[in-house]
């Protein structure tokens, strides 16, 4: 795993947006981009929304989603769509939801869709955040999804709150070509230090074939020895 320390949160968002724009530009279509929720990734999406990017041919999917209605303000897909993709030619693939649908069924269906999308390719780039407990996507410490070894997408429950989520699993995330984890603020410093020592779910991102870049600001890096 590689650590890149930026001056401040805006510099993290700008560097991540540059990387996304350059990667898409170099791919000339047929690009797979996975996105997470959270305020830190959102800053990158807002930065991207101001750029002139050719989104045609880009398949966008969610690294995790809350089990809420698609138009809920708590929905990662709703946020990403509103901030960025409602005005682009990207193919934005979201998990299905209905009041009578089972979260596990939706996760399984979405996982099959993602496997079909990546039948002959790897996810090119996945943007993730990290919580102060070291979770990433919706892979929370002590949660069942951490032990998934086959399925690419499962439902998961946050142990502390009982909230249901859908999340990409390590089998899928480890299959990506590149993962960029966006972390800012001193509140994340302990979790970042633990993650770089592979002691958190986010730290396990480095266990697979994916190249993992940590784009962090100086506050988050305050406990990382130079
Ligand atoms: C979610 C995310 C989650 C998020 C981190 C960081 O649905 O909330 O996918 O993994 O990326 O919790 O969120 P912040 O950047 O807001 O701290």
pLDDT, tens digit, for every residue of 27-72? 987 999 999 999 999 999 999 999 999 999 999 999 999 999 999 9
Mean of all residue pLDDT scores within the chain = 96
- Residue holding tokens 């949660």? 143
Q: How confident is the model at residue 88 (pLDDT cuts 50, 70, 90)?
A: confident
User: Does the structure show a pLDDT above 80 at 218?
Assistant: yes
- The pTM for the full model equals 0.97
Percent of the chain at pLDDT > 90 equals 96
Query: Is there an atom of ligand 1 within 6 Å of 137 CB?
Result: yes
Cα 40 to averaged position of ligand 1 atoms, centre (Å):
7
Cα 150 to averaged position of ligand 1 atoms, centre (Å):
24
Q: C-alpha 171: how far from its chain's center?
A: 14
Average pLDDT for residues 164-171, to the nearest whole number? 98
| Burial class for 179, CB neighbours closer than 10 Å (0-12, 13-18, 19+) | buried
* Residue 46, pLDDT score: 96
Q: Cα separations (Å) of 201 from 59, 99, 144, 186?
A: 26, 30, 12, 19
Name the maximum alpha-carbon separation found in the chain.
52
* Residue 116, pLDDT score: 97
User: Does the structure show a pLDDT above 70 at 161?
Assistant: yes
Cα 98 to averaged position of ligand 1 atoms, centre (Å):
23
SS3 99: coil
Average pLDDT for residues 65-80, to the nearest whole number? 97
- Nearest ligand 1 atom to the CA of 66 is 7
Cα 36 to averaged position of ligand 1 atoms, centre (Å):
7
Residue nearest to atom 7 of ligand 1 (CA): 37
* Residue 86, pLDDT score: 83
CB 161 within 8 A of CB 173: no
* Residue 226, pLDDT score: 62
- Nearest ligand 1 atom to the CA of 184 is 15
Q: What are the φ and ψ backbone dihedral angles of 57, each rounded to 5 degrees?
A: 90, 0
User: Does the structure show a pLDDT above 80 at 164?
Assistant: yes
């Amino acid at each position: 795993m590689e650590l890149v320390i930026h001056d401040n949160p805006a510099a993290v968002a700008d560097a991540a947006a540059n990387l996304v724009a350059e990667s898409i530009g170099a791919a000339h279509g047929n690009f797979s981009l996975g996105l997470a929720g959270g305020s830190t990734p959102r800053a990158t999406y807002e930065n991207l929304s101001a750029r002139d990017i050719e989104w045609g041919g880009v398949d966008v999917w969610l690294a995790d989603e809350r089990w809420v209605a698609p138009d809920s303000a708590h929905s990662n897909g709703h946020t990403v769509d509103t901030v960025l993709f409602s005005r682009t030619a990207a193919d934005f693939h979201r998990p299905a939801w209905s009041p009578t649908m089972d979260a596990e069924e939706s996760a399984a269906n979405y996982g099959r869709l993602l496997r079909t999308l990546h039948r002959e390719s790897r996810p090119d780039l996945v943007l993730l955040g990290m919580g102060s407990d070291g979770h990433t996507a919706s892979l929370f410490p002590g949660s069942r999804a951490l032990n998934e070894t086959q399925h690419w997408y499962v439902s998961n429950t946050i142990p502390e709150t009982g909230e249901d989520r859908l999340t990409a699993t390590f089998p899928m995330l480890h299959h990506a070509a590149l993962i960029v984890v966006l972390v800012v603020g001193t509140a994340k410093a302990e979790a970042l230090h633990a993650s770089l020592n592979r002691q958190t779910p986010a730290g396990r991102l480095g266990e697979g074939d994916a190249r993992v870049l940590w784009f962090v600001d100086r506050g988050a890096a305050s406990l990382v020895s130079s």
